[in-house]
Chains A and B, each alone.
Chain A
Amino acid sequence: MKKKLAVFLVLVFALSLCAAGCGNSGKVTINVLNWGDYIDEDLLDQFTEETGIEVNYQTMATNEEMLVKLEASDCIYDVCFPSDYVIEKLIEKDLLHELNKENIPNLANIDERFLDLSFDPENKYSVPYMWGTVGILYNTTMVDEPVTSWDILWDEKYGQQIFMYDSIRDTIGVALLKLGLSINTRDEADIKAAETALIEQKPLVLAYLGDNIKESMINGDGALAVVYSGDAMWCIDPEEGNPDLDYAVPESGSNLWFDNVIIPKSSQHTAEAEAFINFLCDAEVAKANTEYIGYSTPNKAALALLDESYTENPIYNPPQELLDKCEIFHDLGDFINVYNDAWNNIKGQ
């Protein structure tokens, strides 16, 4: 008798775990996985009001983390925002749902410049969400020379005042750019050179951080930081940021990146997920979103609604000459292991 009771208790316990995981039926809920600070969360409520679709919103910190979650066999996500080179890998691994463009009429709002890019020709699987450059955010009260080259991040004058990203491709990419090499190199000697450069730089680095670079720079904790252009917009913002900060993309060129909306193949709610993507491509929604995050929108209908402080701002809307000198990340295939070893050597040093 008691044994039965115990078995019953175990079952109840197991079922309650399952119920907590499975959520309520009836209303459709889509699981959205995004970067931290990367959407105006009021828009999520607006989406639920307009469509009745609930959104379960979660965040992560790096592309690699997202890739791990999307590759997992129990992937629960319906919408996700990976960058260019990750999309390439996801397509290759056949993990993406082919978009039904009839459900995304607002795709017409996207600037042609940002469609049909090398990582997803014809945009079969992805819609560009935000884009930008990588550059150097600096505090003008601590740096009085013009920032024109990546070399400044190796200048001993700024020892213990430099922030770098705790992100493998971004940080190795900066070293490759400094050395005048391609950020998509598959040459082991190039990676060795970048590794040596970053180990040499390590004593000057105050910290390898993620999103908290923004707050640290606003507080004046460091003189120089490698940041994405959108974060620079956010940090320089006179109301919430620090007006002493400025942003420069080195003249020799940089990384041009795109974050894109995708639907994993495992999604059970593709139509609802497409409705969400369509919602994000709406001009007014994209405008509110870009104003909130500070990242550049690829949505030309939204750009037309923005005021001059965005459209005329070279950080938000860099000139085409600069973009021509920038390179987009590509998936490295198995060569990423060479990057990984280099990264471990740099971080473990």
Chain B
Amino acid sequence: MKRTVFAYPYVVWMLIFILAPMLMIAYYAFTSDGAFTLANLAGALTNEMYMQVLLRSVWIALKATVVCLLLGYPIAYLLSKMKRSTASLLSVLFIVPMWMNFLLRTYAWQVLLSPSGILNNLLKAVGLPAQQFLYTESAVMLGTVYNFLPFMILPIYTVLSKMDQSQIEAAHDLGANGPTTFFKVVLPLSMPGVISGITMVFIPAITTFAISRLLGGGKFMLYGDLIENQFITLGMDAWGSGSALSFILLVLVLISMAVMRRAEREAGEEGGGKLW
């Protein structure tokens, strides 16, 4: 009884700030001047250009997730092998940039990458020609990976550092060498962390906006930018189509979460290592 009472503020919070906005999205997506319609949704799904933008978003999010995994797993693994105090210090360092606003961090990359920026000045200083880093698709990728990498490292690190060392020792005792131990024991045991990391990178990456505008110079429109454009530029007339786009993205996110959840359960059953 005690507990439920203290949960009230959170329930109120969730009703106001999570459930109500979602219901409003659904309402605007399925109505036009107050009457039920599927036209908004049909319009959003049949527009070839919108689909192209959606595919680009999925593609960039997938690539960013893979890169985050390839970078994040080794980092998390190294952290878990270090002395506990060094590891916690280093993992704090990965979190520190997140104390800054996400937009500021992204703006900082503009300064680093711009044609007259720090990176190009370094190139020029060693006699190399300046490169166009900013306003390319790679810059958008870099911004996405940079912003979401900590969300990949931390869950994997948590699982790895909590791992029962005796299982690894047992693998060694039974004659498994380093690589075999890693692939047969450590990797399967760390799968819940990997799947959490993938979820926590892929979902924000697919819904992201602003990164493509700031680092891609508005040339690589993502689905999030498209939605922003519907509301900011087009105004009230486009609330219906903007909500339909948001709704499609929401469904996409829910589907990918369901897939990940299932994968996590299976990995959990196999490995037994629980993350949270």
Contact = CB atoms under 8 A, between A and B. Distances in A.
Interface of A: 2-3, 5-7, 9-10, 13, 62, 64-65, 67-68, 71, 160, 166, 168, 202, 205-209, 212, 216, 219-222, 334, 336-337, 340, 343-345, 347-349
Interface stretch (B4-12, B167-175, B254-262, B266-274): B4-12
B116 A221 contact: yes
Contacts of B236: 68, 71
Contacts of A10: 8-9, 12
29 contacts: A2-B5, A3-B5, A5-B5, A6-B5, A6-B9, A9-B9, A10-B8, A64-B233, A64-B234, A64-B235, A65-B232, A68-B232, A166-B213, A168-B233, A205-B217, A206-B132, A207-B134, A208-B217, A212-B110, A219-B115, A221-B114, A336-B234, A343-B229, A344-B49, A347-B218, A347-B221, A348-B50, A348-B226, A349-B49
A222 B49 CA distance: 29
Contacts of B33: none
Nearest to B233: A64
Interface string B235-276: 111100000000000000000000000000000000000000
Contacts of A68: 231-232, 235-236
Interface of B: 2, 5-6, 8-9, 12, 49-50, 52-53, 110, 114-116, 132, 134-135, 213, 216-219, 221, 225-226, 229, 231-238
A293 B150 CA distance: 41
A207 B116 contact: no
B235 A348 contact: no
A219 B231 CA distance: 33
B213 to A, nearest CB: 7
Contact of A207 (B2, B12, B217, B221): B217
Given A208-B219, A348-B221, 18 more contacts: A3-B5, A5-B5, A13-B9, A64-B235, A65-B233, A68-B235, A160-B132, A202-B219, A207-B219, A208-B218, A209-B217, A216-B114, A222-B115, A336-B234, A340-B233, A343-B229, A348-B50, A348-B52
B227 to A, nearest CB: 11
Given A166-B213, A344-B229, A71 B235 contact: yes
Nearest to A221: B115
